[in-house]
């Protein structure tokens, strides 16, 4: 049976992360995910990928690791994930510490959903050249893995470079939290097999993309079955949802609306009812 979770931008204008986390666990969901944007530049020419005006929650969201820590403190079972964390906007040494701390505090429940981001001006404010964003993501993830697994970690790359360091705590999960790539481009599959544990596209796999992932795994000598398939923005239509499960997705993550607490909990109850039908 697949796992079912939800995600929401945790802002100061919607339900607080603590009662939401409690409600998610009480309704027997398996996971809760929070997206990330550190800020949105007032002057922006990069278009919103979904079209139209950029929703306000993009510049009002809490830091996901702080919100997830609050959620961890009031839950015992649900997985707690970033959906997604923008690696292009974070220092890898500091981020390795944050991830390890959340994993330890939660008892080994962190999932690290990652991406490079789409907003050129946003990442430029963090000193990240847009054209190098994916190389930077790769080096920062590989560097964090060293910090999570080595007593005296070091890394020497083009964009990340440090001599041996001490950094504790180490994550509870062996090798660090599972890393799921939240991207859906022709180049994503080699990146997944290089440094990720799962793939988390938005809405669906796209034509032929599961086959492309299989090909990338075979080329890299990696088992396709070892790659977690997580669907971000899972459909709320039962037939469509069951179709995604038949495709091989084992993690189905539904979008919760921005709204007041009553609106969010009503939506959560509706999704819980759908999940109950699928679980039988």
92-124 confidence digits (pLDDT tens): 999 999 999 999 999 999 999 999 999 999 999
Structure tokens at 43: 């002057």
Nearest to 249 by CA among 265, 264, 234: 234
**pLDDT of res. 207:** 67
**pLDDT of res. 204:** 75
Low-confidence residues of the chain: pLDDT under 50 = none
**pLDDT of res. 206:** 72
Domain with 266, as residue range(s), is 3-279
Structure tokens at 116: 């490079």
Structure tokens at 118: 């789409």
- pLDDT for 206-254, tens place per residue? 768 999 999 999 999 999 999 999 999 999 999 999 999 999 999 999 9
**pLDDT of res. 208:** 85
Structure tokens at 153: 């970690």
For the chain, the domain total comes to: 1
**pLDDT of res. 184:** 87
CA–CA separation, 201 and 219 (whole Å)? 21
Cis peptide preceding 84, ω within 30 of 0: yes
Nearest to 84 by CA among 133, 44, 37: 37
**pLDDT of res. 46:** 97
**pLDDT of res. 91:** 98
CA–CA separation, 72 and 56 (whole Å)? 26
CATH code of residue 203: 3.20.20.30
Nearest to 170 by CA among 110, 114, 97, 112: 97
Segment holding 266, helix H or strand E: helix 261-279
CA angle (225 as vertex; 220, 92 as ends), nearest 5: 60
**pLDDT of res. 256:** 98
């Amino acid at each position: 049976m697949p796992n079912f979770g939800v995600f929401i931008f945790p802002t100061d204008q919607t339900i607080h992360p603590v009662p939401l986390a409690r409600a998610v666990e009480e309704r027997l969901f398996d996971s809760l995910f929070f997206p990330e944007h550190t800020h949105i530049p007032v002057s922006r020419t990069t278009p919103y990928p979904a079209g139209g005006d950029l929703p306000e929650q993009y510049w009002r969201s809490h830091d996901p690791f702080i919100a997830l820590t609050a959620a961890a403190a009031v839950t015992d079972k649900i997985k707690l994930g970033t959906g997604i964390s923008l690696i292009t906007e974070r220092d890898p040494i500091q981020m390795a510490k944050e991830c390890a701390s959340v994993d330890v505090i939660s008892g080994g429940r962190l999932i690290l959903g990652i991406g490079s981001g789409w907003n050129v001006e946003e990442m430029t404010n963090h000193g990240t050249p847009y054209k190098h964003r994916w190389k930077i993501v790769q080096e920062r993830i590989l560097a964090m893995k060293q910090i999570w697994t080595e007593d005296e970690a070091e890394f020497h790359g083009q964009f990340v470079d440090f001599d041996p360091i001490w950094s504790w705590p180490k994550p509870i999960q062996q090798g660090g939290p599972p890393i799921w790539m939240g991207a859906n481009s022709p180049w994503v599959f080699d990146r997944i097999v290089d440094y990720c544990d799962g793939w988390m596209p938005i809405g669906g796999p796209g034509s032929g993309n599961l086959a492309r992932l299989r090909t990338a795994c075979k080329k890299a000598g990696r088992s396709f079955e070892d790659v977690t398939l997580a669907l971000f923005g899972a459909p709320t239509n039962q037939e469509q949802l069951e179709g995604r499960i038949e495709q091989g997705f084992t993690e189905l993550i539904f979008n919760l609306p921005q709204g007041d607490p009553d609106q969010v909990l009503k939506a959560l109850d509706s999704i819980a009812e759908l999940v109950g039908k699928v679980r039988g």
